[in-house]
């Protein structure tokens, strides 16, 4: 039961800087993971879109809907003949 815990503790002890930085020694690892995720979201295309293409499109739709609800945009419907 405690074998797994001992293995995890051993792996964590391999990361240098325990005396000087304490638990903050893991920050560079998570910083690099975050940077890699950001790069993937910007540059990797799934189908024809990246994450930010979808985000920008949905944000513009939300802004349009808000302006429409506030009455800043009025649709001119063609008159019936």
Within 8 A by CB and 6+ apart from 18, the residues are 25
Angstrom distance (rounded) from CA 44 to CA 30: 20
36: tokens are: 């890699």
What are the sequence ranges of the domains in the chain? Answer: 17-70
| Per-residue pLDDT tens over the stretch 10-57 | 988 898 888 888 889 999 999 999 999 999 988 999 888 888 889 999
- In DSSP terms, which residues pair with 49 in a beta bridge? 46
Which of the pair, 68 or 2, is modelled with greater confidence? 68
Give the residue carrying structure tokens 């391999």: 14
Question: Mean pLDDT across the stretch 69-77?
Answer: 75
């Amino acid at each position: 039961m405690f074998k797994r815990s001992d293995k995890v503790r051993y792996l964590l002890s391999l990361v240098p800087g325990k005396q000087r930085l304490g638990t903050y020694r893991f920050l560079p690892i998570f910083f690099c993971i975050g940077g890699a995720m950001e790069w993937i979201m910007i540059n990797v295309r799934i189908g024809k879109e990246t994450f930010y293409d979808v985000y920008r499109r949905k944000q513009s739709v939300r802004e349009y809907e808000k302006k429409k609800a506030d009455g800043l945009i009025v649709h001119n419907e063609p008159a019936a003949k």
